Amino acid sequence: MADSTTSTCVKHIETYVDSSSSKSPSLQDASLDALAKLLMNDMITMELLVREMEMYLTTTDNIIRARGILLLAELLTRISSKPLENNTVHSLIGFFADRLSDWRALRGALVGCLALMRRKTDTGAISGSDANAVAQSFMQNLQVQSLGQHDRKLCFEILECLIDSYPHTVMSMEDEFVYVICEAIDGEKDPQCLLLTFHLPKGEDEVKREELSRALMLAFAATPLFEPFAIPLLLEKLSSSLPSAKIESLKYLSFCTVKYGGNIIQEQHNALWSSLKDAIFTSVPSSLTVGPGSQDNKIADEALVLLQKLIQQDNSSFSFLKLILKDKDINMTLKSLSNYNNYDDITVTDKQRLNAIGQILYVSAAASIASCNAIFESIFSELVNGLQQMMQEKDYVPEHNFGYLYICVDLLSACRTLVKPTEITYLDNETWCTMLSSFCTLLTSSFVKTMKESTHSNHTYFGVTGLQILASFPGNFLPVSKSKFEDILMEFNLIITNKFENSSIWKSVLDALVEIGSLIEKTDDYEKIASFDVIVVERMLSLLSSDDLLMPYSLKVEAVSKIGMTNLKYMRKIVQELNTAVSTSLRKYWLDGNSNSTEHAIVLLECYADKLLPWFQNIRDTDNVPMHFALKVWDQLEDNTLFCDSLNEKKLLETTMNAMKHAVASCSEECQSMILDKAFSILSSSTGFLVNESMKHAEFSCRDEWIISLFDSVIIALHPKTHGKNTKEILQIIMRALSNGHIPSAHALGSLFNKVPNDMQYFSVEDAMDITFSKYIGRFSNGDDDNEMGVGNLRLSSVNDELINAHAIIVGLAWVGKGLIMRGHEKVKDVIKFFLNFLISNGHSPASNGSINSSEDCQDLMRAVADSFSIIMSDSEGCLNKKLHATIKPLFKQRFFNMVMPILQSSIVKSNLPITYKSMLHRALAHVISNTPLSAILGEANKLIPLMVDGLAILSADVQNRDVVYSLLLVLSGTLTDKNGQEVIVENAYMVIMCLNKLVFYQHMMLVRETTIQCLTAMSELPYARIYRFRPEVLQTLSRALDDPKRSVRQEAVRCRQAWASISSRSSYCNTAMYIIQASKPYQIWRLSTAAYSCVFLAYLCNFDF
Amino acid sequence: MAPALINANPVVYEKKERPARSRPGDGDFDEYATEFIDQLEIFDILQICLCEFTYHNIDIKDPEHPYSLEELKVITEDAIEVDDKRSYVRVTFTPTVEHCSMATIIGLCLRVKLMRSLPSRFKVDIRVAPGTHATEDAVNKQLNDKERVAAALENPNLVDMVDECLTPSYE
C-alpha cells in the first residue's frame, strides 16, 4: 500500500519536474494538485516527500533543479491550511532562504519563502529568527531591479510580508533593511509591483494615476521628519513648466503643510511664498471675479488653496502673512491703485496682476479671523480712504476708482465668509469688525455712488456686488446695522424702478435682490425678512398694478416673478396679484381689442407657463395654484359675454392655450375634473355649440372660438384617469368644431381617443369611432359600400367651405390615429384603412364622379392625407406627450411601420398610377420611413432601399416635397453607416448611384445636395470590386458639383472627389500598410514610413526638374 | 543620410478667426442665392498641412506640430486674387527663407490642390512673391508651364508626394 502511494507520488513528481515539451502544463498542474491532495490527506508526509525529491532539489541541472524547488514551493502554497511541525517548517524555511542565492532557481525559492512566511501560528509558522534569516539572505543575494517582472513582484511581496508580519525582526535590522527596500523600489515602473510598493488596495486590474499619486503623497506626508527633503523637492517640481507637474506639486504641498504643522514648515516660508507668488501671478486669468469663484485655472486654484492652508497653519506667528503683507510687488500695486482707474484702460497684464492680488488677499483674509484682522489693520483704512478720495476729487469721474473698488469688494466678500449666522456675538470686538463698523457708511455711499453714476457695466457690477455683500451679513451682526440694510434695499429698489433702460445694471441688481432674499429666507433672519417684505416685496407688487407706462411690462413681470421665487410666502402674494392682472388684461382685450392689454396678457401668461408653473411643481405646493389659475380664466370667460368683434390677435390665444394646458397638466385628477366640469358647463351654455343634427357650417363668434380653444387645451392636458361624465357630448362638440374648420380641436380629439378609459362601460373607444365615422366622415362617402368606410370620397362635397372642412377632418382623423396607435388600440386599423383607401382608390379613378372642383383641390386633399402619416408618426410638442399625460406604449412607431409598410409597398409596386398619385403614395411612405427608428428600417433594408430610391426620384420632381426628400435622404445616409445597410446598398449600387448622381443637382435645397454628396463619399468606402465601374460617372458628376452655387456643397464635392479619385490606388496602399503593420511594431511603422518619405525626398532632390 | 535642416525653427503665427457663414435655419439664409468663390474660400482650400519632410528634420519630427501654410504665413488671405465671374485665380506665396528649395514643391502642391478643388473653368496662376526667393523667375516659369506641370504629374513618385502633402494629417 505504502509502496504504491510512493510510486504514484514519484510519478507525479516526475511529471511535474519534466520540462520537456511532451508534458502539457495542464497535466503538470494536475500532478501538482494530486500531490497536494496526498499531503493534505496524510497519505504521505512532508519528510517522505522531501526525501523522494532530494535528487531534484540538489541536482546540478539548473532546469530540473528549478522545477523541483518550484514544485516543493507550490505544494507548500497549496497546503497552507495543513498543520506542520515547527522543526519541519524551520528546516524548510532554512532551505528556501539559503536557495535565494541560487539565481537560476530563484522563482521556487521566492514562492517557497512566501508560502512559509504567510503561514499562521496555529498551523506552524516560522519564528522570528527564521524571518531574520530570510531577510539577511534577501539582503545579501537579491538585486531586485535586475529580475523579471513576476520575480520582482514576489520580492516585493516578501518585503511586504516581512514588514507586516514580523515587525520586531525588521526593527532589529535598522537602516540596512531600509536601504535594501529603497534600492529594490528605485526605478520600478511595473504597475502591479507599484501597487505593492505603494501599499495600494489591490483588486482592480488597472492602477490609476491618481491612486499612485495619492499613495506617494501619503508617503511624503508620513512624518514631519521628511520636511527638509520633501519641500525643496516639491518646490523644484513646482518650477517645472509642465502644468500637471505644477498642479501635483501644489496639491502635495497643501497636504504636507497640514500634516507637518505650521511650526515645522516655517523655515521654508520664504521659498514657498516666492514660488507661490510666481505661480499665482502667472496663472490667474485676467477676467476679474469676486470671491472664491473657480479661476478656470487649476494651477491658480491649487496655489490659492495652499496659500490659505499655509496661513491657517501659521496662525500663532503670522510669519507667512507678514511675508505677503510686506511683499514689494503687492505693496507697490496697492499703493498705486489710483492708477487702475478706468476698467477699459487697464492692460491685460495689469488686470491679471490685480486679479492675482485680489485673490491672494481674499484667500488670506478668509483663512481665519486673526489673519483677517491683520490684513484689515494694515491696508483696509488706506483702501477706503483711497476710494473716498477719488470720489471727492473735483474732476471726479465715476469711472475713476476701479482698483480700490475691486480690492475693497474682494476683502468684504472674504469677511462675509468669516461670519456664521449662528455664532457671531463675540466677533464684534475683533479689529476687522470695528473697522468695518466705522467705515460702513463710507463704503455704502461709495458703492451706491458707483452703482448710480458709473456708465461702465464692470464698475456698476462691482458696486452692486459690494452692496449685496454688505446686505447679506446676518441681522444681528452689529457692524452693518439694520438701517444700513434697509438703505441698501431702497437703493436697489430705485434702480429696479428707474434704471430699467440699462439692462446690465438692472439685471445685476435684480440678481442681487434675489440672492439676498433667498439668503435671509434660508437663515430665518426675522428682522431682515420683515424689512425685505416691506421694502422689496410690497413695492414690487405695486409695480404690477401701477399705471406707470415708462417701465416695460415684461421687466415688471420678470422682477416680480424672480423675487417671488425666493420664498413661497412671497409667491402666494404675487400669484394673487398676477391672477388679477391676467384677468384684467384679458377682460380689457376682449372688450376692445386693446393692443396694450394684449401685450400685458401675453407677458403674464408666458411667465405663468414658463416660470411659475414649473416652480410650483418643484416645490410640491398644496395650494393648487394651477387649478385656481385655470378656474380664474374660465370665470372670466363666463362673466364676459360681450366680445369685441375684431379680435385677431392669434398669438394671445395661443399663449393662453399653452398656459391653460400647462396649468391643467400640473393639476391632480380631482382638480382636473373640477376644471373640466366648469369648462363644459360654460361650453354648453354657449349657443354656438348646440349639438344639432344639421351639420351646416357655422361661423364661430370670437367668444366661441376662445371657449372652444381653451376647452381643447383642457382636454389635451387631462390625465387618463380623470373622470369625465360627458365624454360623448364632448366628442360631438369637438367633432362639430373640427368640421367647422377649427384645427386645434384635432389635438383635443387625438388626446380624447388616446385617453378614454378602456373599462368605461357606457362609452368606449369603439363607440367613439362609430360616432366619428358614421356622423362626420361617413357623410362624405357614397354610402354604397359599407366596408370601405368613407372610401376617400371626401371630394364629393361641392361647397367651397367643405374643402377646408375636409382638410380639418383629415387632420382630426390623423390625430385620432396617433392617439390610438400610441395607446396600442386595435381600432387604429380603421383609420389606417381609411387613409390608405383614400390614397389608393383615388389614384385608380382619378376623375370619377367629376364632382371635385378641380384636380388641384383633389391633390391638396391627397397631400393632406399623405401628411397625416407624418402627424401619426412624429413627436409633438403641443399634445400627446409625456408632459401632457398621454398613454404611450413602447415601440408604437415600429408597430405602425409594420402595419402600414406592406400595404404601401405593394400598392406602389403594383400600381400603374399616374405619377402625381404615385408621388402621393411615396410622400406617405417617406413620412413613415423617416420617422421610424433606424434600427427597424435596417431590418427591412432589402425591401426598403429600392423603394426609397424610387421615392427620391419621384419626389424630387416637385418643389413642395423638398423637406420630405431631405428627410428620406437622411435615412438613406443612415443606412450607409450600418453594415447590413451597406450590404443592401451594394446590391442596389447602380440604382442608388444613379439616383444620387441626379440629386447632386437638386436645386431647391442646399442640404439635399450636401447630404447627397456625403452619401457618395460614404459609398466610396464600399468594396472596390462592386463600385469601380461607377467611378467615371461619379467623378464627372462631382466635377460639375465643384461649381455649385453654395460653398459648403463645393467643399463636400472636393472631399468626395478626392475619395473617389483615390479608390483605385487605395487597395494597393492598403496592402502595403497591412504588410508594414504585420511586419513591425507600431513605432517601427513610423520609422518605416519616414524612411519611405526620405527616399522619395532624395529622389526628388536628385532628379526632379520639370 | 537625412537632409540638412532647411528651416529648423520656422516662425509660427497664430491662425486667424473666421466669421461664421449663414447656414440653413439662420434667418438670413437664401436657398437660391449664389455664394461666389472668394478669397477666403480659396484660402481655406489651401489650408495644406506641410508634412514633416518639408520644414522639419526627419529625425526630430514632432508629430504634435505639423504646421499649416497659414501658420507659417506662406500664404495670406491678401495674397490671393480671385474673380469668380471671369474664372480667374492668382495665388502669390512667400517661401519662409530666400533659398528655400521647397518653393517649387509648395507651388506644385498649391496648383494641384486648386485643380482638384475648383471648377474646371478656372484659370490658375501661381507665383512666388516678388523678392522673396533667389530664383524667383525660374520657379514662376516652372509652376505656370502647363507642359512641365503635366510632366511632373506623370511622375508617380512626385504624385505620391504631392498627395501625401495634401492629405490632412490625423496624427
pLDDT in tens, A146-165: 888 889 989 998 988 888 88
Pairwise CB contact (< 8 Å): A1057 & B116: yes
Query: What is the tens place of the pLDDT at every residue in A579-611?
Result: 888 888 888 888 887 777 888 888 889 988 888
* Other CB atoms within 10 A of residue A815 CB: 29
Contact A242, A225 (CB under 8 A): no
Output the pLDDT for position A397.
65
- Chain B's closest residue to A1046, CA to CA, is B35
Amino acid making up residue B104: T
Name the minimum distance, in Å, from the CA of A667 to any CA of chain B. 37
Q: How far is CA B20 from CA A672, A793, A1043, B16, B45, in A?
A: 49, 52, 21, 13, 16
Output the pLDDT for position A907.
86
Sheet holding B88-93, edge to edge: B80-83, B88-93, B123-128
Q: Residue ranges of chain B with pLDDT lower than 50? A: 1-5, 51-65, 169-171
Residue A1047: enclosing H or E segment and its boundaries?
helix A1047-1061
Residue that wins the pLDDT comparison between A287 and A248:
A248
Q: Which residues are registered as beta bridge partners of B83?
A: B88
Sorted by sequence, the CB contacts under 8 Å of residue A398 that are 6+ apart come out as: A449, A450, A453, A454, A455, A459
Mutate: best of B117, B155, B164, partner A, most A CBs <10 A: B117
**C-alpha span between A674 and A111 (Å, rounded):** 81
Q: What CATH superfamily classification does B39-166 receive?
A: Fe-S cluster assembly (FSCA) (3.30.300.130)
**C-alpha span between A824 and A843 (Å, rounded):** 30
Amino acid making up residue A386: G
**C-alpha span between A270 and A274 (Å, rounded):** 6
Pairwise CB contact (< 8 Å): A1090 & B58: yes
Three-state secondary structure string covering A40-80 = HCCCCCHHHHHHHHHHHHHCCCHHHHHHHHHHHHHHHHHCC
Q: Which residues are registered as beta bridge partners of A684?
A: none
* Pairing assessment for the beta strands B88-93 and B80-83 based on DSSP bridges: antiparallel
A-chain CB neighbours of B118 within 8 Å are 1042
A-chain CB neighbours of B33 within 8 Å are 1045
Is 70 exceeded by the pLDDT of residue A940? yes
Is 90 exceeded by the pLDDT of residue A1012? yes
Ranges A399-403, A682-686, A1095-1099: which has the least confidence: A1095-1099
Q: Is A1043 on the interface with B (CB under 8 A)?
A: yes
* Per-residue confidence band for A791, with pLDDT thresholds at 50, 70 and 90: very low
* Per-residue confidence band for A404, with pLDDT thresholds at 50, 70 and 90: confident
Amino acid making up residue A288: L
Helices B156-166 and B146-154, axial angle in degrees (round to 10): 90
Output the pLDDT for position A1008.
94
Pairwise CB contact (< 8 Å): B116 & A1043: no
Output the pLDDT for position A1084.
40
A-chain CB neighbours of B117 within 8 Å are 1042, 1050, 1054
Determine the 3-state secondary structure of A315 from DSSP.
coil
Give Cα A232 to chain centroid, integer Å. Answer: 42
Question: How large is the average pLDDT for residues A1071-1089?
Answer: 40
* Other CB atoms within 10 A of residue A278 CB: 13
Is 50 exceeded by the pLDDT of residue A523? yes
* Per-residue confidence band for A327, with pLDDT thresholds at 50, 70 and 90: confident
A-chain CB neighbours of B144 within 8 Å are none
What is the rounded average pLDDT for all residues in chain A?
81
B-chain CB neighbours of A1040 within 8 Å are 119
Task: Give chain B as a DSSP string.
Answer: -PPPPSSSS----PPPP-PPPP-BTBTT--TT------HHHHHHHT-PBPPHHHHS-STT--TT-PPBTTTTTSS-GGGEEEETTTTEEEEEE--SSTT-TTHHHHHHHHHHHHHHHS-TT-EEEEEEPTTS-TTHHHHHHHHH-HHHHHHHHH-HHHHHHHHHHHSPP--
Name the minimum distance, in Å, from the CA of B55 to any CA of chain A. 12
Grid look-up 512641365 returns B148
Pairwise CB contact (< 8 Å): B119 & A1043: yes
Torsions phi, psi for B32 (to 5 deg): -100, -5
Name the minimum distance, in Å, from the CA of B68 to any CA of chain A. 18
- Chain B's closest residue to A1005, CA to CA, is B31
* Per-residue confidence band for A965, with pLDDT thresholds at 50, 70 and 90: very high
Amino acid making up residue A505: I
* Per-residue confidence band for A968, with pLDDT thresholds at 50, 70 and 90: very high
Output the pLDDT for position A798.
38
Contact A680, A730 (CB under 8 A): yes
Pairwise CB contact (< 8 Å): B3 & A1046: no
Under an 8 Å CB criterion, which residues of B touch A?
1-3, 21, 23-24, 31-35, 37, 41, 45, 51-53, 58, 61, 101, 105, 116-121, 142, 148-149, 151-152, 155, 157-158, 160-161, 163-164
Question: How large is the average pLDDT for residues A1003-1027?
Answer: 91
Ranges A382-396, A449-463, A740-754: which has the least confidence: A382-396
Output the pLDDT for position B2.
40
| Maximum distance among all Cα pairs of chain B, rounded to whole angstroms | 59
Ranges A199-203, A648-652, A708-712, A763-767: which has the least confidence: A199-203
**C-alpha span between A86 and A129 (Å, rounded):** 13
**C-alpha span between A451 and A464 (Å, rounded):** 6
**C-alpha span between A656 and A598 (Å, rounded):** 11
Q: Which of A923, A997, A932 is nearest to A966 (CA)?
A: A923
Task: Give A366-409 as a DSSP string.
Answer: HH-HHHHHHHIIIIIHHHHHHHHHHHHSTT--TTTTHHHHHHHH
Output the pLDDT for position B160.
80
Name the minimum distance, in Å, from the CA of A1085 to any CA of chain B. 13
* Per-residue confidence band for A1103, with pLDDT thresholds at 50, 70 and 90: very low
Q: How far is CA B66 from CA A646, B63, B170, in A?
A: 69, 6, 10
The minimal CB distance from B58 to the residues A1005, A1006, A1094 is found for A1094
| Maximum distance among all Cα pairs of chain A, rounded to whole angstroms | 119
Contact A99, A136 (CB under 8 A): no
Contact A144, A183 (CB under 8 A): yes
Output the pLDDT for position A1077.
38
Output the pLDDT for position A2.
59
Is 50 exceeded by the pLDDT of residue A979? yes
Amino acid making up residue A373: N
Name the minimum distance, in Å, from the CA of A1089 to any CA of chain B. 11
Question: How large is the average pLDDT for residues A349-369?
Answer: 87
Pairwise CB contact (< 8 Å): B151 & A1047: no
* Other CB atoms within 10 A of residue A495 CB: 22
Is 60 exceeded by the pLDDT of residue A1083? no
Sorted by sequence, the CB contacts under 8 Å of residue A861 that are 6+ apart come out as: A794, A795, A803, A806, A807, A810
Name the minimum distance, in Å, from the CA of A516 to any CA of chain B. 40
Determine the 3-state secondary structure of A481 from DSSP.
coil
B-chain CB neighbours of A1101 within 8 Å are 3, 101
Return the top range by mean pLDDT from A15-29, A124-138, A829-843, B50-64: A124-138
Query: What is the tens place of the pLDDT at every residue in A411-442?
Result: 888 888 888 766 656 566 788 888 888 888 88
Grid look-up 519662409 returns B96
Output the pLDDT for position B89.
92
* Per-residue confidence band for A537, with pLDDT thresholds at 50, 70 and 90: confident
Grid look-up 441698501 returns A488
Pairwise CB contact (< 8 Å): B53 & A1057: no
